[in-house]
Amino acid sequence: DLSNDQITYSINRFELINDMMQNLQSRFIKEGETYMQLRQAFNILNGQSARAADVISRFIGGVYVDRAMAGQEGGTQPYTPVSLEDQKRAFNALKKYVFAPDAFSAPEGIYNYLAPQRRGYNLGRGTEDPKIQDRILGYQNRVLAHIMHPTTLQRMSDSEMYGNEYKLSTFMNDLNKAMFLPDVNGNITTKRQNLQAVYVKRLIGMVTGPTAKRFSIAAQSMAIYNLKRVRSWVSNNTGNIATKAHKQHIKTLIDNALEEVK
């Protein structure tokens, strides 16, 4: 409703949010008051980032639908795949703002102040400390759930037959590299470890999980191909102890899955 170029609009939202995030503490920490306003502002901005990511994700494997009657003035063909340019713009935006090692970053020290306002015993059963990593992974996993959904991958393959130039194999290869190559030779943060593990488990689920039958043969072939590439990347044994443990974890998951595929 706010733009006829939703990708650019969403990218601008990411940039605006990242800029606003730098000033949250100075704007919302006020002497004599709780930190609830800071917490709410932080959550609102992150929620806006997640919404922008959702919008962009719909362009990958997307198809425009025109319901005009045959010969109707202004009508086009019923189905037109999203252009290669727009799908690549969408993917590169997700790569930068959702999946990159510095995605969903926040100013140093802000997490120490994201305390809810307490009134009596209204905190419920959970602990009150901010669950930052769960929140970030939730945003990322929501995007993965769409772009790796069997319907999206099937539509991407089918639309190759009527104009889609962003092939399934190209997209899945691009996604695989975005998940691992930026930090495969260095230390991998816990945030990235979470994302990589969830991604690998989704690939495994495409070939061995309870919903594996919903995925096309082409998608399953790429899932196996990507799992083998990931295994080769994480076999370099570089990084600190946490990184090495993570890589061994990923290798174990993949080895077990490939053994089951046999």
> Strands 79-81 and 63-65: what pairing?
antiparallel
pLDDT (tens place) for every residue of the chain, 262 residues total: 668 899 999 999 999 999 999 999 999 999 999 999 999 999 999 999 999 999 999 999 999 999 999 989 988 999 999 999 999 999 999 999 999 999 999 998 999 999 888 765 666 667 778 899 999 999 999 999 999 999 999 999 999 999 999 999 999 999 999 999 999 999 999 999 999 999 999 999 999 989 999 999 999 999 999 999 999 999 998 999 999 999 999 999 999 999 988 7
- Residue 234 and residue 251 in contact, taking contact as beta carbons nearer than 8 Å: yes
Place of tokens 């990242």: 18
Place of tokens 């920490």: 29
Structure tokens at 71: 């010969």
d(CA 95, CA 89): 10
By three-state DSSP, how is residue 23 classified?
coil
Rounded to two decimals, the pTM is 0.93
